[in-house]
Amino acid sequence: MTTRIFGSGIRRREDPRLITGGATYTDDVKLPGMAFAAILRSPHAHAKINSIDTSAAAAAPGVVAVYTGADTDGVLNPIPCAWIPPDSDVKAVDHPALAKDVVRYQGDAVAVVVAENRYQAEDALELIKVDYSILPAVVNPEAAMQPGAPQLHEDAPNNQAFHWVAAGGDTDAAFASADVIVKDTIVHQRLIPNAMEPRSAVATWTESMGELTLWSTSQNPHICRFLASLVTGVAEHKIRVIATEVGGGFGSKIPVYADEMITSFCSMQLGRPVKWTATRSEGFQATIHGRDHVEHVEMAATREGKITAVRSVIYAGMGAYLSTAGPGVPTILHGLMYCGPYDIAATKADIYGVFSNATPVDAYRGAGRPEATFLVERLVDLLAVELGIDPVELRRKNLIPKFEDGHDVASGITYDSGDYEPILNMVLGHVDYQALRQEQARMREHGEYMGIGVTCYSEICGLGPSQVAGAVGFGGGLWESAIVRFHPTGKVNVYTGVSPHGQGEETTFAQIVSDELGVDVDDVGIVHGDTSNTPMGWGTYGSRTTAVGAAALVLAVRKVKEKARLLAAHLLEAAEADVEYADGKFFVKGSPDQSKTIQEMATMANVAWNMPEGMEPGLEASAFYDPPNFVYPFGAHVAVVHVDPDNGHIEVKRYVAGDDCGPQINPMIVEGQVHGGVVQGAGQVLWEGAVYDDNGQLLTGSMTDYALPRAHMFPNIETLFTVTPSPHNPLGVKGIGETGAIASTATIYNAVMDALRPLGVTGIDMPLTPEKVWQAIREKQGS
């Protein structure tokens, strides 16, 4: 392949519409006769609904209709969970779109008002009278499983949503014979994803056709269509979901939520378009949260520093109901990754999924893998302290040696390719690790506390083989497809089932097509996000869009190219075997003057005046790609922090991300993904956290109370890369969307603990706010 534009950091074609205000996000959609919905949410975390009086609201100015759960009986099916891990006794409890008898978290939808404008709808909400009997609530997932805890669902005793165990190797024996065991309790606080675009839906029901069109802020419009058909009862082929412009997701726009289904219900009842857009406060309560683990973890090792086993008992909060992919996150995406990049013979993950009176939990950037990386990397650092070995040396001692085509790890999965030491050496050389340690020693003499955190990671993404999806209880496939179509003028459209929402695949996919077909990149249009004109696909999440979606694209492109080659042979009156392709042209071997461009073939195939016998007209192809394995990006990150012991303030002085995602289609976009991921991970360790009080009231319910990273809070990020191709997809690419968030939480946490070690502080629950750091230092100093 002649490389022209693959590997080039060209500007994104998405940007002109985004920098001029010309893009159309869901809330920008305006349809004739459109009404606005507003949803009444439970102010209580747990309560019985005695009665709902909507009469005053129904009579309010501009109000078109008011609906409660009773109105949806027999019309709207429960909101499904679509990931049921096998052998784990999952309690797939009913999740009515509008609560009927009981509300189970603050934010549970209770009623909906449809009015002529959004102000009138919001006004009328305040006129709905709900008589509640408040019930006791529980939020912490470990507390929720204790005897006597308030119970959420009759069908789920002890609030246990599931119990899933993954074990490989003889963990018990490894711990029994270990020279050293280190343990910790890790709390992965609840995080609130906060994509900048609030969730929104515009539904329009065409009664005469029985068709529903739904603009939805979705990362996976085809999954949305699939589940919407189950909830609304409208046949899948009569539903069109449009999610062409989506303002970030980070996992929070994977689920199919009650709200979008309620909006659809309203439109179907009223026969007119209805828009619902979450306020940010609504988003805090009713868009999924991430993480929420209470983890009891331990690592076994020899005195020489050979890690022999890792095991955990984890209480993973699911919130009040099982969200679309919720149960898959702390299990499949977490419990199989306890080896990380290390050669560890035995791992065991013992995971309890737990219901509690809080917002449902689902995939949030990294989804299970940041927790796994944190668990391993935290324990490695504790082990290094315990053994008196430099943490980098301890890591190096345990890294899996280079492998190019498969490496089985204890949990039973097979990593695709890995070469872990070069990237570690690269980041260490970049920061001059030894010099940093010397500087740290000098600073400590002056009472200044600098910390260095180094982590290595390997993660699982590029979800994934469909056979595995079925085996692990994912309610769908995980292949992708693409259609490549040449138009008569030689321009190309690609129709893809993935659904980018900020990742830039309109650009990178065009780069791939341009390279493969030798057409100008500007002559390639990428169409995505609308189920009416794109082929089935499973969406954009789990860093799978390029590893799976682009692989399908390449296969389709190659089919098109082969058809064009055969047509060229026919028109050149040459034997098929003698016609070759280079740089956008087909030519007869040895006679480069006798050639046809691929654009000429596009024209000739489309007019079909002179086709070879048996060849169909047109120049297009579709392809499906089901990967034989996941992909496993890896890397090594370094953070340097300063901690002020007088006020607990942490300053991240440097952050170096070393990553390997295989060949890079557009390095500028790759770096951008790393930057964003790193800062999201930093958000968890330093600032972010959903706080509930004992009654289940969300205290961090707005951007005023929930601290998101801002521009002045983090330095520039230094990015370094190695390139280790995946052996099993046609481009060799791995994912890069989540690596930053997977590595940075552990890296910065380890750096802070490294800084605080001389002060006797060994662990603080995240987020590491100045107050908590200051308190921890004070406690150790006994003052």
Partner 1 sequence: MKIQVTVNGKAHEKDVDPRTLLVHFLREDLGLTGTKVGCDTSQCGACVVNMDGTTVKSCTCLAVQADGSQITTIEGLSPKGELDAVQEAFWNNHGLQCGYCTAGMIMTAVELIDKNPNPTEDQVREGLKGNICRCTGYHNIVKAVLAAAEAKRS
Q: Is 25 in the site for partner 1 (CB under 8 A)?
A: yes
Q: Is 327 in the site for partner 1 (CB under 8 A)?
A: no
Shortest Cβ distance from residue 63 to partner 1 (Å)?
16
Of these, 1, 209, 435, 711, which contacts partner 1 (CB under 8 A)? 711
Q: Can you tell me the distance from the alpha carbon of 194 to that of 252, in angstroms, rounded to the nearest whole number?
A: 8
Q: Can you tell me the distance from the alpha carbon of 322 to that of 326, in angstroms, rounded to the nearest whole number?
A: 6
Of these, 1, 3, 22, 446, which contacts partner 1 (CB under 8 A)? 22
Q: Is 250 in the site for partner 1 (CB under 8 A)?
A: yes
Helix, strand or coil, per DSSP, at residue 6: coil
Q: Is 717 in the site for partner 1 (CB under 8 A)?
A: yes
Number of H helices, E strands in the chain: 20, 28
Shortest Cβ distance from residue 9 to partner 1 (Å)?
8
Q: Is 763 in the site for partner 1 (CB under 8 A)?
A: no
Shortest Cβ distance from residue 336 to partner 1 (Å)?
28
Q: Is 504 in the site for partner 1 (CB under 8 A)?
A: yes
Of these, 246, 266, 392, 424, which contacts partner 1 (CB under 8 A)? 246
- Smallest Cα–Cα separation from 572: which of 591, 544, 545? 591
- Within 10 A of 432 (CB to CB), how many other CB atoms are there? 11
Shortest Cβ distance from residue 11 to partner 1 (Å)?
6
CA dihedral angle for residue 699, residue 700, residue 701, residue 705, rounded to 10 degrees: 120
From residue 308, how far is each of 179, 296, 299, 338, 392 by CA, in Å?
A: 10, 18, 8, 12, 18
Q: Is 20 in the site for partner 1 (CB under 8 A)?
A: yes
Q: Can you tell me the distance from the alpha carbon of 504 to that of 748, in angstroms, rounded to the nearest whole number?
A: 28
Q: Is 24 in the site for partner 1 (CB under 8 A)?
A: yes
- Smallest Cα–Cα separation from 714: which of 747, 758, 737? 747
Select from 137-145, 222-230, 512-520, 706-714 the region that touches partner 1 (CB under 8 A).
706-714
Q: Can you tell me the distance from the alpha carbon of 110 to that of 99, in angstroms, rounded to the nearest whole number?
A: 5
Judged by CB under 8 A, the number of residues near partner 1 is 61
**What mask of x and - would describe binding to partner 1 in positions 197 to 226, judged by CB under 8 A?**
xx----------------------------
Instruction: State which residue, 246 or 454, has the beta carbon closest to partner 1.
Output: 246
Q: Is 9 exposed, middle or buried (0-12, 13-18, 19+ CB in 10 A)?
A: middle
Select from 223-231, 508-516, 521-529, 714-722 the region that touches partner 1 (CB under 8 A).
714-722
Round to the nearest angstrom and report the end-to-end CA distance of the chain: 68
Shortest Cβ distance from residue 676 to partner 1 (Å)?
5
Both structure tokens of 658: 């070393």
Of these, 168, 464, 709, 767, which contacts partner 1 (CB under 8 A)? 709
Instruction: State which residue, 72 or 277, has the beta carbon closest to partner 1.
Output: 277
Both structure tokens of 552: 């399908």
Burial 305-334 (b: 16+ CB within 10 A, else e): bbbbbbbbbbbbbbbbbbbbbbbbbbbbbb
Helix, strand or coil, per DSSP, at residue 427: helix
Q: Is 676 in the site for partner 1 (CB under 8 A)?
A: yes
Q: Is 654 in the site for partner 1 (CB under 8 A)?
A: no
Of these, 7, 18, 306, 313, which contacts partner 1 (CB under 8 A)? 18
Q: Is 742 in the site for partner 1 (CB under 8 A)?
A: no
Q: Is 712 in the site for partner 1 (CB under 8 A)?
A: yes
Shortest Cβ distance from residue 119 to partner 1 (Å)?
7
Helix, strand or coil, per DSSP, at residue 749: helix
Q: Is 669 in the site for partner 1 (CB under 8 A)?
A: yes
Both structure tokens of 716: 């520039």
Instruction: State which residue, 151 or 281, has the beta carbon closest to partner 1.
Output: 281
Select from 55-63, 87-95, 188-196, 535-543 the region that touches partner 1 (CB under 8 A).
188-196
How much is the CA Rg of the chain, to the nearest whole Å?
27
Q: Is 196 in the site for partner 1 (CB under 8 A)?
A: yes
Q: Is 676 exposed, middle or buried (0-12, 13-18, 19+ CB in 10 A)?
A: buried
Residues 6 or more apart whose Cβ sits within 8 Å of residue 88 = 162, 163, 164, 165, 327, 331, 353
Shortest Cβ distance from residue 77 to partner 1 (Å)?
31
Helix, strand or coil, per DSSP, at residue 717: strand
Of these, 43, 248, 525, 727, which contacts partner 1 (CB under 8 A)? 248
Shortest Cβ distance from residue 434 to partner 1 (Å)?
27
Q: Can you tell me the distance from the alpha carbon of 360 to that of 108, in angstroms, rounded to the nearest whole number?
A: 10
Q: Is 106 in the site for partner 1 (CB under 8 A)?
A: no
Shortest Cβ distance from residue 111 to partner 1 (Å)?
20
- Smallest Cα–Cα separation from 224: which of 194, 203, 206? 203
Select from 101-109, 204-212, 553-561, 666-674 the region that touches partner 1 (CB under 8 A).
666-674
Q: Can you tell me the distance from the alpha carbon of 581 to that of 365, in angstroms, rounded to the nearest whole number?
A: 41
Select from 26-34, 125-133, 508-516, 625-633 the region that touches partner 1 (CB under 8 A).
26-34
Q: Is 132 in the site for partner 1 (CB under 8 A)?
A: no
Shortest Cβ distance from residue 673 to partner 1 (Å)?
8
Instruction: Give the dihedral sign, CA 270/274/280/284.
Output: positive
Q: Is 40 in the site for partner 1 (CB under 8 A)?
A: no
Q: Can you tell me the distance from the alpha carbon of 585 to that of 768, in angstroms, rounded to the nearest whole number?
A: 59
Shortest Cβ distance from residue 6 to partner 1 (Å)?
17
Shortest Cβ distance from residue 13 to partner 1 (Å)?
10
Helix, strand or coil, per DSSP, at residue 142: helix
DSSP string, 321-389: S--TTGGGTTTTTTTT-TTTTB--SEEEEEEEEEE-SS--B---TTTTHHHHHHHHHHHHHHHHHHHT-
Select from 52-60, 106-114, 115-123, 135-143 the region that touches partner 1 (CB under 8 A).
115-123
Instruction: State which residue, 118 or 397, has the beta carbon closest to partner 1.
Output: 118
Q: Is 700 in the site for partner 1 (CB under 8 A)?
A: no
Shortest Cβ distance from residue 672 to partner 1 (Å)?
5
Q: Is 235 exposed, middle or buried (0-12, 13-18, 19+ CB in 10 A)?
A: exposed
Shortest Cβ distance from residue 765 to partner 1 (Å)?
24
Of these, 76, 79, 138, 195, which contacts partner 1 (CB under 8 A)? 195
Q: Is 521 in the site for partner 1 (CB under 8 A)?
A: no
Residues 6 or more apart whose Cβ sits within 8 Å of residue 295 = 184, 185, 186, 187, 188, 312, 313, 314, 315, 371, 375
Q: Is 291 in the site for partner 1 (CB under 8 A)?
A: no
* Interacting residues toward partner 1 by CB under 8 A: 9, 11-12, 14-25, 27-28, 30, 117-119, 194-198, 245-248, 250, 277, 279-281, 501-504, 668-669, 671-672, 675-680, 702-704, 708-712, 714, 716-717, 740
